Structure 1
Amino acid sequence: MFHMPRTASASPERVAETFKDELARVDLDELPLQQGMTRGSVALGDDLSAMVIRTESTDGRVRVHAGLFFSSLVAGCACANDPTPENEDAEYIEAVFDIDRPDGATTVTLSESSQ
């Protein structure tokens, strides 16, 4: 669990923008990138970006359904004579972020479309 307090307190019209800004500061290990990958074996977060698909707000919670774009790598043995090139592949998953109000405690799960 991590915290997104600014998204939790954002007005409905600012949730998407605030969410993307706060997501850029989240530790990548907190996100289900590794679990949702389809091509690689190691998730890379250097180029993580998000597309907000839908938001729902209630008095107690903000729910953000987002598409996450990132890269993955099929890691070789890293031997000097390993003929396997280490190419990055584009990855996409959809995740649901449940953000509690007022403290911003956040849980994230893969959406059913990414499982």
Structure 2
Amino acid sequence: MLTLPQTARAARVARDEMEATFKAEIAALSPDALPLQQGMAHGNVAQGDTLSAMVIGSVIGPERLRIHAGLFFTSVVAGCACTNDPSPMNDEPEYVEVEFEIDCRDGATQVRLLDSDE
């Protein structure tokens, strides 16, 4: 289960630090923890080494925090990786928009991929 406890805490006690805290927690996540694969446009394997977030909007309620975010990452088209494979492994820039719903008590987080027209 995905948890963002530092973001939940910041939403309760240090709202001015919430965005920076959220970005730091997202950058530390594995790409497998997020729906990156489902939203990719170029590659077929998400890379997490350049994962970063942009907060588009947020709503802080008494029990839940909702964050609409854009996630920037890279992907690759994974081939056979044979020595004579003519296709190089290039990093492709990717972007998806997601919504995080964070429980302010414990940081338990649900994340869903948003359609590009939402």
TM-score when scaled to structure 1?
Answer: 0.92
Q: Is the 8 A contact 1:43 1:70 kept in 2?
A: yes
Uncovered stretches (5+) of structure 1, i.e. residues with no partner: none
Uncovered stretches (5+) of structure 2, i.e. residues with no partner: none
How far apart are residue 7 of structure 1 and its match?
0.8
Q: Runs of at least 4 residues of structure 1 off by over 4 A?
A: none
Give the corresponding residue for 1:76.
79
- Structure 1 stretch 23-32 or stretch 89-98: which is displaced more? 23-32
CA distance in 2: counterparts of 1:2 and 1:42, whole angstroms:
20
- Structure 1 stretch 9-18 or stretch 72-81: which is displaced more? 9-18
Give the corresponding residue for 1:100.
103
TM-score when scaled to structure 2?
Answer: 0.90
How far apart are residue 85 of structure 1 and its match?
1.2
Is residue 2:110 matched to residue 1:110? Answer: no
Using a 3 Å threshold, how does the CA distance of structure 1 residues 114 and 91 change in structure 2: closer, same or farther? farther
Q: Is the 8 A contact 1:94 1:114 kept in 2?
A: no
State, as a whole percentage, how many aligned pairs show the same letter: 54
Give the letter aligned to residue 6 of structure 1. Q
Is residue 2:31 matched to residue 1:25? Answer: no
